[in-house]
Amino acid sequence: MFEALCEMRGLEALWLKWRGIKSLDSLPNLQQLQSLHIGSSAQLESITPLTRLKQLRWLELENIKRIHDISPIGDCAQLLGLAIDGSMWTTQKVNSLSPLHKLEGLRYLSIINLRAADGSLKPLFGLHNLQRLHVAKWWASSEVQELKRNNPQLEI
């Protein structure tokens, strides 16, 4: 089913949830894709193919628990909106948020029920276009306040 969707070359938005997707290798066929949601795809093994979606502006990844290295997302510099969330029952664990520092145009970021192994929001301090941020209460309040100082228009 997923591979068949990836043959729809003019597709601009795709919402996938509760799929047994292991690979996104056929996803780059969707060169017009602007918005992508992948939810509860716990078998997904790599997000590297996302880097070849040059029109992608909005990316939501939810409960992709095998993915801990989010560095490919750092190569999606055109993103305006990004969500990397855990589920209601499962915390999404990533190595670090440091790859996100390259997303200078990012306006929306959601990291609900996400924990970074390094425990820091510091990689986000240089994102000066953020307008909306959704975070869990466990992040250091001093770091959340620093984000707010760097982005006076930021709604948390």
Do 56 and 33 meet the contact criterion of CB atoms below 8 Å apart? yes
Read off the pLDDT band of 8 (50, 70, 90): confident
- State the DSSP code for 154: -
- State the DSSP code for 72: H
Q: Is the pLDDT of residue 9 over 70?
A: yes
- State the DSSP code for 99: G
As a CATH number, domain 2-150 is 3.80.10.10
Q: Is the pLDDT of residue 54 over 70?
A: yes
Q: Is the pLDDT of residue 137 over 70?
A: yes
Amino acid identity for residue 54 in this structure: K
Read off the pLDDT band of 6 (50, 70, 90): low
| Mean pLDDT in residue range 121-149 | 95
Residue among 60, 17, 18 at smallest CA distance from 35: 60
Average pLDDT value over all residues in the chain: 92
Tokens encoding 21? 């997707």
Using the CB atoms, write b or e for 98-136: b if 16+ within 10 Å: bbbbbbeebbbbbbbbbebeeeebbbbeebeebeebebe
| pTM for the full predicted model | 0.93
pLDDT of amino acid 4:
63
| Mean pLDDT in residue range 102-129 | 96
Domain range list for the chain: 2-150
- State the DSSP code for 89: S
Amino acid identity for residue 123 in this structure: P
| Mean pLDDT in residue range 71-97 | 96
Q: Which residues pair with 61 in a beta bridge?
A: 38, 84
